[in-house]
Amino acid sequence: MKKRILAVFLAAAMVLSLAACGTKGDDGGSGESGASTNENELTVWCWDPAFNIYAMQEAEKVYQKDHPDFKLNIVETPWNDVQTKLTTAATSNDLKSLPDILLMQDNAFQKNVISYPDAFASLADSGIDFTQFPEAKTAYSVVDKVNYGVPFDNGTVVAAYRTDILKEAGFTVEDFTDITWDEYIEKGKVVLEKTGKPLLSCQAGEAQLVMMMLQSAGASLFDDEGQPDMVGNKALEKVLETYKALKDSGVLIEVNDWDQYVGSMTAGTVAGTVNGCWILASIQSAEDQSGNWAVANMPRLVGVDGATNYSNNGGSSWAITSNCKNLDLAYDFMKSTFAGSVELYETILPKSGALATYIPAGESEVYAEPQEFFGGQPVYKAVTEYSKKVPGNNTGVYYYEGQDAISTALQNVVNGADIAEEIKTAQETTEFAMN
């Protein structure tokens, strides 16, 4: 008897799970077409409910004021899934599963547009004024002088510091503004000695800090033709040297993953960080540290032409796919919201910290409001100021190949390998991947 009951349960569980699979399949497929067929509706893929999904919802409300019938269908899709689905759709020549609009990481933009030129709609005739965005930002989504993306969030690099820890070591945040990496290391050593805390943490094996340093001097791993430009690249050599010096001095500690990285800040084991300004959202999750943080620009490289205190890391842009049936609606929606509505950016900033790359929005008063968490500093205004000074650089189609090769080189350099030798290997690896 017992066995029979058990068998019934098992069978029921199997039927249920099958049914669950079935519905899931329906959701994922949503028929044959991912894009909206209704002429007043657009389908969007983006990934963060607190950030870009929220921004899209607000954009919908803004647009609905003049177009009451308009509707957005926002599908939460993590970036890795967006990339996989895009790859699958494009390689199977079946673009029907794509949405009208999708959010794309800036660093993947070139690769995707060049690999699948048929998947994206050109924005050349959209009437969007791209001069309203910083050039360094739009450059990510321009292929052959044609715009394919509407810039969204800002990845301008900030250096954030714990003012209470700096004070213990006898410094203020002014001592860390407009400085060089050499000064950063010198002062960092003092902080380490007096408080036992390193100035920043990094994920081991991630070349993000290196990429930020490179761009701060307008340099890149690739030349203008997109060929690897690593051997003899003075900026790159200096960057690797600087990273090693940071690590050797103990001013920088390496952790193994993202959670540990965020943890090192929220738990207060480090006195600051250097990253894209989106990191401010993670910093603010440690409410007990309110009032103890301040923001400055990042240190600049020493002895490199064109070195600045400004750079960029991450960020994303909206792309319109060629599967969109209502191109005019999509153009107009983008033009009236993300590329034309200061009001939209004023709404989304306080709640999500979504910093605009739309230049007119930066002049809004909302951006100039002092932030309590950062000791009354108007950080969003400061970041908007920084973003105007970021030098542009060419990320190239083979961005991820180059970055991985450099991160391999970086790990070997940190362990004592010869810089020139490692750069040569990295260049060979990248050239091989491109061949």
Partner 1 sequence: MSSRTNAGSPGGGASKGGKMTLSRKQNLSGWAFLAPAALLIVLTSFYPMFRAFILSFQRGKGNALQWGGLYNYTRMFKDAIFLQSVKNCFFYLIIQVPIMLVLALVLASLLNNKDLRLKGLFRTAIFLPCATSLVSYATIFRSLFAVDGLVNVLLVKFGILETGYNFLNHAFSAKIVIILALIWRWTGYNMVFYLSGLQNIEYSVYEAAKIDGASPWQSFWKITVPLLKPTILLTAIMSTNGTLQLFDESVNLTGGGPANATITMSHYIYNTSFKYVPNFGYAAAMSFLILILVAILAFVQMKVGDKRD
Where does this chain bind partner 1 (CB under 8 A)?
83-84, 87, 90-91, 93, 111, 114-116, 118, 204-205, 254-257, 260, 397-398, 400-401, 404, 407-409, 411-412, 425, 428-429, 432-434
DSSP 3-state of 252? strand
Distance CA 144, CA 124 (A): 11
Closest CB to partner 1 among 190 and 204? 204
- Our CA dihedral for 338, 344, 349, 352, rounded to 10 degrees, sits at -80
Smaller CB distance to partner 1: residue 82 or 348?
82
For residue 105, the minimal CB distance to partner 1 (Å) is 12
Nearer to partner 1, 236 or 329 (CB): 236
- Who's near 338: CB < 8 A, 6+ residues apart? 59, 150, 151, 152, 318, 344, 358
CB closer to partner 1, 259 vs 288: 259
The helix/strand/coil state of 235 is helix
Question: Which one-letter DSSP state was computed for residue 196?
Answer: S
User: 293, 161 in Cβ contact below 8 A?
Assistant: yes
Q: State the Cα–Cα distance between residues 168 and 170, nearest whole angstrom.
A: 5
Angle subtended by helix axes 234-249 and 419-434, to nearest 10: 120
Nearer to partner 1, 112 or 341 (CB): 112
Q: What angle do CA 425, 428, 429 make, to 5 degrees?
A: 85
Note the Cα 294 to chain centre separation in Å.
21
- Please tell me what DSSP assigns to residue 251: S
CB-nearer residue toward partner 1: 49 or 205: 205
**CB within 8 Å of 368: residues ≥ 6 apart:** 378, 380, 381
Shortest distance (Å) from residue 398 CB to partner 1: 6
Shortest Cβ distance from residue 297 to partner 1 (Å)? 30
Question: Helix, strand, or coil here: 321?
Answer: strand
Q: How far is the CB of 358 from partner 1 (least distance, A)?
A: 30
d(CA 423, CA 413): 10
**Least distance in angstroms from the C-beta of 259 to partner 1:** 8
Of residues 114 and 281, the one with the C-beta less far from partner 1: 114
3-state secondary structure of 323: coil
Sheet with strand 101-105: strands edge to edge: 71-76, 41-46, 101-105, 316-320, 149-151
Least Cβ distance, residue 412 to partner 1 (angstroms): 5
C-alpha triplet 136, 84, 213: angle, nearest 5° = 30
Decide whether 230 or 307 has the Cβ nearer to partner 1.
230
Most distant CA atoms of the chain, gap in Å:
83
Closer Cβ to partner 1, 264 or 289, answer by number: 264
CA dist 162 and 259 (Å) reads 19
d(CA 194, CA 48): 40
Please, what is the minimum distance in Å from the beta carbon of residue 218 to partner 1?
A: 24
Nearer to partner 1, 142 or 433 (CB): 433
- Minimal distance in Å, beta carbon 433 to partner 1? 6
Beta carbon of residue 435, minimum distance to partner 1 (angstroms, whole number): 8
Q: Nearer Cβ to partner 1, position 83 or 195?
A: 83
- How open is the CA angle 49-82-254, to the nearest 5 degrees? 75
CB of 411 to partner 1, least distance (A): 4
- The tokens describing 160, both together, are 């954030």
The minimum distance between CB 395 and partner 1, in angstroms, equals: 12
